Chain A
Amino acid sequence: MDEQLKKQLEIAATKVRMGVIEGVYNAKAGHPGGSLSVADTLTYLYNNRMNVDPANPEMADRDRLVLSKGHTAPALYACLAHRGFFPVEELKTLRKIDSRLQGHPVRGKVPGVDMSTGSLGQGISAACGMALSGKISNDTYKVYAVLGDGEIQEGQVWEAAMFAAHYQLDNLVAVVDNNGLQIDGKIGDVMSPYPIDEKFAAFGWHVIVINGHDFDEIEKAFNEAETVLNKPTVIIQRSTKGKGVSFMENQCGWHGKAPNAEEYAKAMEELNAHLAELEA
């Protein structure tokens, strides 16, 4: 990837992370850990991959993204806001009683949100339906489904995995954000879904494993997915829960907790410093 583009993406992802912290802090609730781990990939998709138009969010031939791990809505909202779907200032209204930025994404309420999600395991099925519909009418759009690694403990994910392979949905790319942590602890301790790569391969998917915080690898993976025919692709991204905020990194306690005023100040200080470094 071009160095300048990479820097632009790193800057955009840092702003998305700031949007996550801003939202969750003001809401006094929400899910910062998984929002931060998936921030780089979502930033890449919305800024450099997906055919979307903030002025026409319901454009028929747009690429779709289903945030199956819907609790990381703060990252999705921050990406959409920075992409121009709604004002960035609105991120501060996350989870407020009069806000359209619900705790989990709602289709039809927020421009750019393609599917209501939040109940884990369901988004991937909806993404399959969108992809199948595209195949039926020979549409060219792509469908992206973003899942958590804990989420794939849900049986419905594997029903969908069978379906996508059976109907050869090569217009579908799933991302599994493998940050290794869920609410009750390490995913391997709570209910191991490993080996994730072999499971998807056995279900008939093309499997790519990457570092989810490396834009070169992210881009390479999505480029590779474009070349795969007659089967869906899953990108399993190794990631760090809480990425970019030192005291949140790899702490499952930050799965669903808002920072207090002091923690908020420290997180924003770190992210601002990183932004200044990138923009220097």
Chain B
Amino acid sequence: MEKKATRDSYGEALVMLAEKRPDLVVLDADLAAATKTGTFKAAYPDRFFDCGIAEANMMGVAAGIATTGKLVFASSFAMFAAGRAFEIVRNSIGYPHLNVKIGATHAGISVGEDGASHQCNEDIALMRAIPGMTVINPADDVEAKAAVLAMADYVGPTYMRFGRLAAPIFNDAATYKFEVGKGVQLKDGKDITIIATGLMVAEAIEAGKALAEQGIDARIINIHTIKPIDRDIIIKAAKETGKIITVEEHSVIGGLGAAVAEVVTEECPVPVIKIGVKDTYGHSGPAVDLLKEFGLCADNIVATAKAALGK
């Protein structure tokens, strides 16, 4: 299967967007080459502004631009966009509900060799807690591009999470439609539901196939919009399959698993088993090896599902 990092999709989607949105402005904080806003910069240098290594100011500048009605994307690594600039995002963007799109790349542990200082496993938790913030975590190239284009037409603060590691492209560009707030059922199943987001969706699909071979019929759901989350698809899965496993390249605290558990405990209590980074920091190493070490892979999803079903 062809692979592409969703950060590359992000950069390309910004260029696609610029053609139909002359009011588009893109900001970065000295990471354009890595976040791939550099792709946009090369195509539209007059609408790209580097803010230097100053993420707090960049978020405030984005807020100011948004007050004048232009469409603005502000980019950095997730660690700095959601982490360092958290309070500016909360007070200058979230509180006045300004139409700023935060394009955060290098999310999660698959940052790899840079190590834990740059592996942000807390961004979904932080951004999800801001009232009115939409949180999007696309799974592949097709979804990432569609999400960027769709969110450009959606008015309101939005956090979009992209990855460094090349991810398998499993969606079909010809038929895919991105609907904000709607989960996507990739495979029906009755024994257990696996709900994944971002880079982990491809692993969940692999796990679903492996489980099928072993006689376990797992439902697979892709949640690209972590907030507002698709409550209906989760409640239906809880009712119909009785057990849920969540998979995310993020801390098990406050992320997708927590969001799913919040819905399930209120509406239809069933076990929710969270696969994610377990209240710890990552470390340097090749991304693929790190993902395995932290259990963020199809094998661990399969093992977890079997254990949950007592098989």
Contact = CB atoms under 8 A, between A and B. Distances in A.
Interface in B173-224: none
Contacts of B64: 66, 115, 125-133
Contacts of A64: 67
Contact of B67 (A126, A136, A156, A166): A126
A256 interface: no
B87 to A, nearest CB: 6
A141 B49 CA distance: 20
A107 interface: yes
Given A163-B52, A163-B57, A133 B70 contact: yes
A159 B59 CA distance: 11
Interface stretch (B92-100, B236-244, B279-287): B92-100
B231 interface: no
Contacts of B60: 122-126, 128-129, 156, 160
A124 B56 CA distance: 11
Given A129-B67, A130-B67, A122 B92 contact: yes
Interface string A95-128: 0000000000011100000111011011111111
A247 interface: no
B169 to A, nearest CB: 35
B4 interface: no
A134 interface: yes
Contacts of A155: 56
A136 B54 CA distance: 21
B188 to A, nearest CB: 44
Interface in B38-61: 46-47, 49, 51-52, 54, 56-61
Interface residues of B, number: 30
B266 to A, nearest CB: 29
B156 to A, nearest CB: 12
Given A127-B64, A129-B64, A133-B64, A116 B59 contact: no
Interface in A154-183: 155-156, 159-160, 162-163, 166-167
Interface of A (DSSP majority class)? helix
Contacts of B65: 129-130, 132-133
A177 to B, nearest CB: 19
B70 to A, nearest CB: 6
A105 B25 CA distance: 26
A128 B91 CA distance: 16
Nearest to B63: A126
A106 B63 contact: no
Interface of B (DSSP majority class)? helix
Nearest to A141: B68
Given A107-B67, A133-B65, A136-B70, A156 B57 contact: yes
Interface string B51-86: 110101111111111111110100000000000000
A11 B62 CA distance: 38
A185 B67 CA distance: 35
B127 interface: no
B88 interface: yes
A64 B68 CA distance: 10
Interface string A251-264: 00000000000000
Given A116-B92, A160-B57, A129 B66 contact: yes
Contact of B96 (A60, A106, A132): A106
A162 B25 contact: no
Contacts of B62: 129
A163 B60 CA distance: 11
Nearest to B66: A129
Given A130-B64, A130-B68, A115 B59 contact: no
B96 A156 contact: no
A199 B49 CA distance: 24
Contacts of B61: 125-126, 128-129, 132, 160, 163
A167 B57 CA distance: 13
B51 A156 contact: no
Nearest to A161: B57
A57 to B, nearest CB: 12
Nearest to B55: A159
Of B49, B60, B88, most A-chain CB atoms within 10 Å: B60
Contacts of B72: 129
Nearest to B90: A119
Nearest to B100: A129
A127 B92 CA distance: 11
Given A132-B61, A136-B70, A108 B52 contact: no
Nearest to A109: B96
Given A133-B65, A136-B70, A159-B54, A167 B49 contact: yes
Contacts of B87: 119
Ranked 4 nearest A-B pairs via Cβ: A129-B64, A125-B60, A159-B57, A159-B54
20 contacts: A66-B64, A108-B97, A116-B92, A119-B87, A119-B91, A122-B60, A122-B88, A125-B92, A126-B60, A126-B64, A126-B67, A129-B60, A129-B65, A129-B68, A130-B65, A133-B70, A136-B25, A156-B56, A159-B56, A163-B54
Given A119-B88, A125-B58, A129-B66, 11 more contacts: A125-B61, A125-B63, A126-B92, A128-B57, A129-B60, A129-B65, A132-B49, A133-B68, A136-B47, A139-B68, A162-B52
